[in-house]
Amino acid sequence: MHELLIAAVGAIFGSLITWALGAGDRKLAKEVLAAQEAAGRAQAKIAELEGDRKEADTFTRFRPRIQILGAPGQQSIKLEASEPFDVEEIEYLNGIEARVASEAVNRSGTGIEIPIITGYLTEVNNIGPWIDNSRMLTEIIFRFSIRQSGHSKQVTHKGQIKQEFRPMGGGMTVVMRVIG
């Protein structure tokens, strides 16, 4: 019986020593688990930010195709892209990028056509500067405020205003035509 008691005390004593020696391992295991959880959260945040960056990069490269349509006095600007976008505003700038006029557009789609206001062309032409007096050319810059997928930017399109004389009612009149 005495041996049984010694064996029981030895087992208890051994268990206590094992438990005491394993305390550092348990603490280390908790720290490792906490570090793994923090790393998982960090990786999830990195993946989220990478997605946002990729979307922002795509928008930075986004530029709709722009073309001038129509006859003088009835011209329009058409913006086209493969993805839907919004045009919030158009600004009419002269050749030194001074804003002469602006107009709210507030249209959405993959193809947006905006009428060119002849009165604004006349203002830009009158302010100048002229780039070729002999051909009666003035530079114009159209600046569009666009949005896509929550991102905003401005896109510009340069052209020239050409004055042309046209017969009208037995006389001649000057019309403004955007080229470029």
Map out the domains of the chain as residue ranges.
1-61, 64-179
pLDDT digits (tens, 9 = 90+) for 71-118: 888 999 999 999 999 999 999 999 899 999 999 999 999 999 999 999
Report how far residue 66's alpha carbon sits from residue 180's, in angstroms, rounded to the nearest whole number. Answer: 10
Tokens of 169: 């009612």
Total residue count of the chain as it appears in this document:
180
Query: pLDDT value at position 140?
Result: 95
CATH of 64-179, one of 2.60.40, 2.30.29, 2.60.120, 2.30.110: 2.60.40
- Of 89-93, 122-126, 140-144, 169-173, the one with minimum mean pLDDT is 169-173
Measured at the CA of 146, the angle between CA 145 and CA 147, to 5 degrees, comes to: 135
User: Could you give the 3-state DSSP secondary structure of residue 146?
Assistant: strand
- Contact criterion met (CB below 8 Å) for 134 and 162: no
Q: Most distant CA pair in the chain: distance in Å?
A: 136
Q: Roughly how many angstroms between the first and final C-alpha of the chain, as a whole number?
A: 109
pTM given for the model: 0.67
pLDDT digits (tens, 9 = 90+) for 42-82: 787 877 778 767 766 666 678 899 999 998 889 999 999 99
87 CA to centre of own chain:
12
State percent of the chain over pLDDT 70.
Answer: 82
Report how far residue 120's alpha carbon sits from residue 112's, in angstroms, rounded to the nearest whole number. Answer: 20
Tokens of 128: 């100048």
* pLDDT at residue 18 is higher than 90: no
Higher pLDDT, 7 or 166: 166
